[in-house]
């Protein structure tokens, strides 16, 4: 809309215009710098006050820049926040599912994770990731692609399902690989120790699942096109490196106090430990490919397989109707009787 025309409108007309745009399904942003813009700023989805006057009270955002240059900044920050919320939700859901699968698998052999093993996963790894994951800033450029607007979508649900199946497959592979070793012996169920610890099944599953929490933290921390790359979040990157080094230390060269605190079984077979690390590397590659396909490849596949449905947005349906018209506005006798051709 022409800015000069909008400026000459009354406050009620501005508010009504914003509400009509919202009724058509648009996500409306409104910038204003005076008291006559308060109603429109409050009615809009995103209101930005360009001054510290009365308009700043009615709008959720106040810009120090007195022009519309602030609008792309707000859009980039909003898209980054939405994407970060979705990724954090996915990580917390996958963390719960990973721990559930781990415990369920260990229950089948009458054992479980130890108390300090739970604390390591919950307090050290997951809490650190959950706090620092959201510190990644918005992308430097504003793209034309929009983030997802709902959790009930193929990328989100498909990611949860595929990653859960992958985690289950890797843990089962680690379990059966452990039980097939010549030095393996089953859990001593007659032991009076809590959860019959230590044992080989618990040690192998604990090490592999610890890497899986870090793998999920990396593959779910997407950058482009809404956020900056992961390496720009320095604290998060350092935390992941430290946690990875800690898990490698616990898996390959655990010291006596580590094995005592975490109730780990001493495994002298270095080749077996390297195989466990190799399995987690395969897990990382597979998880990264799954997320990449769900982000980019599935859209092209769906466009080819599915018919194009009519949009639920009212403004998009109106645009299609206008494109179907040969001329606009339609000049006919009903709307413009004075322009009807005289009869001979």
Cis geometry, peptide bond prior to residue 258 (ω within 30 degrees of 0): no
**Which band of pLDDT confidence, cut at 50, 70 and 90, is reported for residue 336?**
very low
DSSP 225-285: TTB--GGG-HHHHHHHHHHHHHHHHHHHS--HHHHHHHTPPP---HHHHHHHHHHHHHHHH
The per-residue pLDDT for range 283-292, each reduced to its tens digit, is 999 999 999 8
| C-beta pairs of 229-237 under 8 Å, 24+ apart in sequence | 230/136, 232/136, 232/137, 233/132, 233/135, 233/136, 233/137, 235/132, 235/135, 236/129, 236/132, 236/133, 236/135, 236/136
Instruction: Tell whether domain 3-68 is in CATH 3.40.50.1000.
Output: yes
The per-residue pLDDT for range 154-166, each reduced to its tens digit, is 888 889 999 999 9
For the entire predicted model, the pTM comes to 0.83
Q: Which residues contact 277 (CB under 8 A, 6 or more apart)?
A: 211, 248, 251, 252
The per-residue pLDDT for range 118-151, each reduced to its tens digit, is 999 999 999 999 999 989 999 888 888 888 878 8
CATH 3.40.50.1000 in the chain, residue ranges: 3-68
* Strand runs labelled E in 18-71: 29-32, 46-49, 61-62
Cis geometry, peptide bond prior to residue 191 (ω within 30 degrees of 0): no
Q: For residues 115 and 108, what is the distance between their CA atoms, to the nearest angstrom?
A: 19
In CATH terms, the fold of domain 77-305 is Calcium-transporting ATPase, transmembrane domain (1.20.1110)
CATH 1.20.1110.10 in the chain, residue ranges: 77-305
């Amino acid at each position: 809309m022409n800015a000069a025309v909008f400026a000459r409108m009354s406050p009620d007309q501005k508010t009504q215009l914003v509400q009509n745009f919202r009724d058509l399904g648009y996500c409306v942003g409104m910038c204003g710098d005076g008291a006559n813009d308060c109603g429109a700023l409050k009615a809009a989805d995103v209101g930005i006050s360009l001054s510290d006057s009365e308009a700043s009270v009615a709008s959720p955002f106040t810009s120090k820049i007195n022009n519309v240059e602030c609008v792309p900044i707000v859009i980039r920050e909003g898209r980054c926040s939405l994407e970060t919320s979705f990724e954090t939700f996915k990580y917390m859901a996958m963390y719960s599912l990973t721990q559930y699968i781990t415990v369920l698998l260990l229950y089948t052999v009458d054992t479980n994770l130890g108390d300090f093993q739970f604390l390591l996963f919950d307090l050290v790894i997951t809490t650190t990731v959950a706090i620092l994951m959201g510190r990644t800033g918005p992308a430097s450029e504003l793209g034309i692609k929009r983030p997802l607007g709902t959790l009930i979508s193929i990328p989100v649900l498909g990611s949860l399902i595929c990653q859960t199946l992958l985690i289950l497959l890797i843990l089962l592979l680690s379990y059966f690989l452990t039980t097939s070793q010549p030095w393996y012996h089953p859990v001593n169920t007659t032991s009076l120790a809590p959860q019959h610890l230590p044992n080989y099944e618990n040690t192998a599953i604990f090490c592999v699942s610890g890497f899986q929490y870090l793998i999920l933290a990396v593959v779910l921390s997407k950058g482009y096109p809404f956020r900056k790359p992961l390496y720009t979040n320095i604290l998060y990157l350092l935390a992941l490196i430290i946690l990875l080094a800690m898990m490698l230390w616990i898996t390959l060269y655990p010291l006596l106090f580590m094995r005592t605190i975490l109730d780990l079984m001493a495994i002298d077979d270095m080749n077996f430990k390297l195989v466990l690390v190799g399995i987690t590397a395969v897990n990382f590659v597979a998880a990264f490919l799954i997320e990449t396909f769900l982000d980019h490849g599935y859209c092209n596949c769906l466009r080819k397989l599915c018919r194009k449905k009519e949009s639920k947005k009212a403004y998009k349906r109106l645009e299609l109707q206008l494109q179907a018209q040969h001329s606009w506005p339609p000049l006919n006798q009903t709307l413009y009787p004075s322009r009807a051709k005289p009869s001979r």
